[in-house]
Amino acid sequence: MSARARLTNAIRDFADWLDANPQVDAPHAPRFLLPLHTNQAVIDFANEHGLETTADAEGNLSAAVTFGPVVYEAYGYVDFDTHRDACDERTARSWADRTGMQITPQV
Protein backbone atom coordinates (compact mmCIF):
# COMPACT_ATOMS: atom_id res chain seq x y z
CA MET A 1 0.00 0.00 0.00
CA SER A 2 1.36 3.43 -0.89
CA ALA A 3 2.05 6.13 1.68
CA ARG A 4 -0.78 8.18 0.15
CA ALA A 5 -3.25 5.28 0.51
CA ARG A 6 -2.14 4.72 4.13
CA LEU A 7 -2.73 8.42 4.86
CA THR A 8 -6.19 8.59 3.29
CA ASN A 9 -7.21 5.35 5.03
CA ALA A 10 -5.98 6.75 8.35
CA ILE A 11 -7.99 9.96 7.83
CA ARG A 12 -11.12 7.89 7.14
CA ASP A 13 -10.40 5.73 10.20
CA PHE A 14 -9.96 8.85 12.31
CA ALA A 15 -13.30 10.27 11.10
CA ASP A 16 -15.02 6.94 11.80
CA TRP A 17 -13.45 6.83 15.27
CA LEU A 18 -14.66 10.35 16.06
CA ASP A 19 -18.17 9.41 14.88
CA ALA A 20 -18.11 6.25 17.03
CA ASN A 21 -16.91 8.19 20.11
CA PRO A 22 -19.11 11.30 20.38
CA GLN A 23 -17.97 11.84 23.98
CA VAL A 24 -14.47 12.69 22.68
CA ASP A 25 -13.89 16.30 21.71
CA ALA A 26 -13.07 16.75 18.04
CA PRO A 27 -10.24 19.04 16.97
CA HIS A 28 -11.66 22.51 16.41
CA ALA A 29 -9.50 23.52 13.45
CA PRO A 30 -7.36 20.69 12.06
CA ARG A 31 -4.80 21.58 9.40
CA PHE A 32 -2.94 19.34 7.03
CA LEU A 33 0.27 21.01 5.89
CA LEU A 34 1.97 20.44 2.55
CA PRO A 35 5.51 21.89 2.42
CA LEU A 36 6.27 22.87 -1.17
CA HIS A 37 9.43 24.76 -0.18
CA THR A 38 9.30 27.51 -2.83
CA ASN A 39 6.82 30.26 -3.57
CA GLN A 40 6.77 29.22 -7.23
CA ALA A 41 5.66 25.73 -6.29
CA VAL A 42 2.82 27.25 -4.24
CA ILE A 43 1.81 29.46 -7.18
CA ASP A 44 1.77 26.41 -9.46
CA PHE A 45 -0.30 24.43 -6.92
CA ALA A 46 -2.76 27.32 -6.52
CA ASN A 47 -3.14 27.78 -10.28
CA GLU A 48 -3.69 24.06 -10.80
CA HIS A 49 -6.46 23.98 -8.19
CA GLY A 50 -8.07 27.40 -8.73
CA LEU A 51 -6.88 28.81 -5.40
CA GLU A 52 -5.68 32.19 -4.24
CA THR A 53 -2.30 32.59 -2.59
CA THR A 54 -1.66 34.64 0.52
CA ALA A 55 1.65 36.08 1.68
CA ASP A 56 2.93 36.45 5.23
CA ALA A 57 5.01 39.39 6.47
CA GLU A 58 8.18 37.85 4.99
CA GLY A 59 6.59 37.27 1.57
CA ASN A 60 6.24 33.51 1.99
CA LEU A 61 3.21 32.16 0.15
CA SER A 62 0.49 29.70 1.05
CA ALA A 63 -2.67 28.41 -0.61
CA ALA A 64 -5.43 26.54 1.17
CA VAL A 65 -8.27 24.20 0.34
CA THR A 66 -10.92 24.13 3.06
CA PHE A 67 -13.40 21.42 3.93
CA GLY A 68 -15.52 23.11 6.59
CA PRO A 69 -13.19 23.49 9.57
CA VAL A 70 -10.50 21.27 7.98
CA VAL A 71 -7.74 23.02 6.03
CA TYR A 72 -5.25 21.55 3.58
CA GLU A 73 -2.55 24.20 3.27
CA ALA A 74 0.37 24.26 0.85
CA TYR A 75 3.18 26.63 1.77
CA GLY A 76 6.52 27.81 0.44
CA TYR A 77 9.21 30.38 1.06
CA VAL A 78 10.82 33.31 -0.72
CA ASP A 79 14.16 31.94 0.52
CA PHE A 80 14.06 29.10 3.02
CA ASP A 81 17.52 29.80 4.50
CA THR A 82 16.67 33.46 5.10
CA HIS A 83 13.33 32.43 6.60
CA ARG A 84 15.03 29.97 8.99
CA ASP A 85 17.61 32.59 9.99
CA ALA A 86 14.81 35.07 10.79
CA CYS A 87 12.96 32.43 12.85
CA ASP A 88 16.13 31.54 14.73
CA GLU A 89 16.82 35.19 15.47
CA ARG A 90 13.27 35.76 16.76
CA THR A 91 13.60 32.72 19.00
CA ALA A 92 17.00 33.84 20.34
CA ARG A 93 15.78 37.39 20.99
CA SER A 94 12.66 36.13 22.73
CA TRP A 95 14.78 33.87 24.95
CA ALA A 96 17.17 36.75 25.70
CA ASP A 97 14.27 39.04 26.63
CA ARG A 98 12.74 36.41 28.94
CA THR A 99 16.01 35.68 30.69
CA GLY A 100 17.34 39.24 30.95
CA MET A 101 20.17 38.56 28.53
CA GLN A 102 21.38 40.74 25.71
CA ILE A 103 22.39 39.59 22.25
CA THR A 104 25.31 41.46 20.75
CA PRO A 105 27.08 40.90 17.44
CA GLN A 106 30.49 39.25 17.47
CA VAL A 107 33.39 41.45 16.47
What is d(CA 24, CA 22) in angstroms, rounded to the nearest whole number? Answer: 5
Rounded to an integer, what distance in angstroms lies between the CA atom of residue 107 and that of residue 30? Answer: 46
Q: Is 73 helix (H, G, I), strand (E, B) or coil?
A: strand
Q: What is the pLDDT of residues 28-67, one digit of tens each?
A: 889 999 999 899 999 999 999 999 999 999 899 999 999 9
At residue 99, the 3 state secondary structure works out as helix
% of the chain beyond a pLDDT of 70: 100
Q: Where are the domains of the chain?
A: 27-99
pTM for the predicted model, two decimal places: 0.70
The pLDDT value given to residue 83: 78
Average pLDDT, the chain: 93
